[in-house]
């Protein structure tokens, strides 16, 4: 089933499932359909540690190579197409040589020659020859690269003759986020069916994940959601889930081979030096059949090849895990697991709070599974942000209710079916009360919303820090602040959340002159004695209301 996203330019991209900003989609090319998110291993055209055929047998639907290096190795008048050259029947993307410009300053080819060559070798996906910004603090340099990239994009669109190739428009600007936004808008306005975020490689090499997150999100919020986004050079398993959750659909990387040449062994939590391993913690075809000592003592070329195959297996396994997590609505949880692999990744995820509205806008309204809440990072979850915002800004209480009864959540679900809650409802006129519950992480919610998603489908850890308690209490106060003429009955226990809410509500009532009545439940707010005390308070309020109502009418 195609999602609410429209198909991409020329109807090449459709979305099947989504979670956070991540999507499981289908990208249509002239050589077939690939499923996204998709990692394209970069393969050297003249030095294949692992062949294209082997990668296809491992399950990779697409690979990437460098058109400029291919041209240098085999000449412009190559007779074979790129599929025959690399022995790969799937989708092949070609980079233009821009990375060589970033590394060496220039290449021995112009854009028209590169585009003509990419058409000649019959690429499925091809990148125009842009000018990478790289990692630089020089704003003038960033401006020049953006200006030149946009200029070259227009020239490329006039040069291109093969319309069945999916041409990629790069977005430059580096860590100058306003430049990224400008370039993204310009590229989005042109007819490229795929856009790609350029210059992240040096950022990732320096573990500047905070900047990477901002680069990706700045790009994503300035392009159409119907356009797939390629992250150049993104290829370590520990960061793939995060990048997908930010809206990246395609990745390319030669990391599997680069790490292998340096005797480095990939895992989802980082990269380990082979010499430091006593065991091979993997069940791929290499690790299942090899002993760690034999692998360490293998000839260099054999060791590099085996490590490359292992690394590729780890990468494709992680991509499949990300897809499954997206379909299940568990992508956020996977991201929170992965960012704990490195302190710099963990720091980067704190940036997400600035983009809560963007995540909420594009995340699904409902999910197949419930929500797990662990710590303050989860306060930026789209489901939580959406529910809080709508309850606070849009919910209207029962007409005529002047008393807000604020209760902790009981153990029975749905909450209104709990026997203790039923007893409370019988003790007073329900129509005259606005009955709400407080709960981590939602703050407050009216009783009638207690069985809707995501409130009734949330499991929260009880080991929470003061930041979560304070944030939850502030959400309660924000809601109560809408009803300045109401009386508040707060039923609390000895738990930390109750005490934090009591402190915040007292402060609110002092500012607004709202009346506050506290019903104390001790260690268990729902034990019989505590419930009876609450019922007594409600009956007294009801009695007072009935006595006051005739005088008011007179």
Annotated catalytic residue 291: no
300-328 and 331-338 helices cross at what angle (nearest 10)? 140
Distance set, CA 147 to CA 191, 196, 406 (Å) = 18, 16, 58
If you ran DSSP here, which 8-state letter would residue 127 be given?
A: E
- Residue 250 structure tokens: 């395609």
Phi and psi, residue 515, nearest 5°: -80, 135
Query: 3-state DSSP call for residue 112?
Result: helix
Q: In this structure, what token pair is assigned to residue 390?
A: 């709508």
Q: Look up residue 326 and give its two tokens.
A: 């997206």
Q: Supply the DSSP string of 241-276, one letter for each residue.
A: HHHHHTT--EEEE-HHHHHHHTTEEEETTEEEEGGG
Gap between the Cα atoms of 518 and 502, Å rounded: 9
User: What gap in Å lies between CA 149 and CA 398, rounded to an integer?
Assistant: 58
Q: 188, 145, 150: which is closest to 8 by C-alpha?
A: 188
Q: Which of 19, 95, 124, 252 does the annotation list as catalytic?
A: 95
Distance CA(361)–CA(217), nearest Å, equals 13
Q: Using DSSP, state whether 518 is helix, strand or coil.
A: strand
CA dist 143 → 138, 147, 210, 223, 370 (Å): 9, 6, 22, 19, 46
What's the length of the chain? 554
Show which residues are catalytic.
Answer: 95
């Amino acid at each position: 089933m195609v999602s609410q996203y429209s198909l991409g330019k020329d109807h090449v991209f459709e979305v099947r499932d989504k979670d956070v900003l991540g999507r499981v989609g289908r990208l249509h090319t002239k050589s077939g359909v690939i499923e996204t998110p998709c990692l394209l291993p970069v393969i050297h055209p003249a030095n294949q540690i692992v062949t294209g055929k082997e990668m296809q047998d491992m399950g990779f639907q697409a690979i990437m190579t460098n058109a400029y290096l291919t041209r240098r190795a085999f000449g412009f008048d190559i007779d074979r197409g790129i599929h025959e050259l690399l022995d790969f029947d799937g989708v092949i993307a070609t980079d233009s040589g821009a990375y060589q410009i970033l590394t060496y300053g220039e290449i021995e080819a112009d854009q028209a020659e590169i585009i003509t060559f990419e058409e000649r070798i019959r690429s499925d996906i091809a990148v125009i020859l842009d000018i990478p910004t790289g990692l630089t603090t020089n704003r003038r340099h960033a401006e020049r690269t953006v200006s030149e990239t946009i200029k070259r994009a227009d020239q490329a669109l006039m040069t291109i003759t093969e319309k069945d190739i999916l041409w990629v428009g790069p977005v430059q600007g580096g860590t100058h986020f306003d430049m990224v936004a400008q370039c993204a808008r310009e590229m989005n306005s042109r007819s490229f069916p795929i856009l790609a975020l350029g210059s992240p490689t040096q950022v990732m090499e320096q573990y500047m994940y905070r900047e990477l997150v901002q680069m990706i999100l700045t790009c994503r919020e300035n392009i159409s959601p119907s356009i797939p986004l390629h992250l150049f050079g993104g290829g370590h398993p520990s960061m793939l889930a995060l990048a997908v959750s930010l809206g990246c659909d395609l990745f390319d990387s030669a990391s599997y081979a680069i790490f292998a040449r340096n005797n480095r062994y990939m895992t989802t939590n980082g990269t380990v030096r082979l010499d430091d391993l006593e065991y091979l913690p993997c069940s791929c075809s290499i690790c299942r059949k090899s002993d760690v000592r034999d692998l360490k003592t293998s000839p260099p070329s054999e060791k590099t090849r085996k490590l490359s195959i292992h690394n590729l297996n780890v990468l494709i396994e992680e991509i499949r895990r990300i897809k499954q997590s997206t379909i299940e609505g568990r992508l956020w949880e996977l991201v929170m697991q992965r960012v704990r692999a490195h302190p710099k990744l963990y720091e980067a995820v704190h940036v997400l709070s600035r983009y809560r509205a963007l995540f909420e806008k594009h995340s699904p309204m409902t999910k197949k599974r419930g929500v797990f809440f662990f710590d303050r990072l989860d306060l930026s979850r789209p489901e939580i942000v959406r529910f809080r915002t709508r309850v606070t800004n849009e919910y209207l209480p029962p007409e005529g209710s002047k008393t807000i009864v604020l209760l902790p959540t009981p153990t029975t679900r749905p909450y209104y079916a709990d026997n203790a809650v039923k007893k409370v409802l019988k003790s007073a006129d329900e129509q005259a009360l606005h009955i709400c519950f407080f709960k981590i992480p939602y703050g407050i919610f009216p009783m009638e919303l207690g069985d809707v998603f995501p409130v009734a489908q949330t499991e929260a850890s009880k080991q929470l820090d003061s930041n979560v308690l304070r944030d939850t209490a502030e959400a309660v106060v924000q809601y109560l602040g809408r009803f300045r003429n109401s009386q508040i009955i707060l039923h609390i226990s000895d738990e930390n959340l109750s005490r934090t809410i009591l402190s915040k509500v007292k402060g609110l009532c002092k500012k607004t002159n709202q009346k506050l009545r506290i019903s104390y439940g001790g260690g268990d707010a729902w034990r019989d004695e505590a419930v009876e005390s609450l019922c007594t308070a409600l009956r007294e309020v009801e009695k007072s209301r009935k006595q006051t109502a005739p005088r008011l009418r007179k």
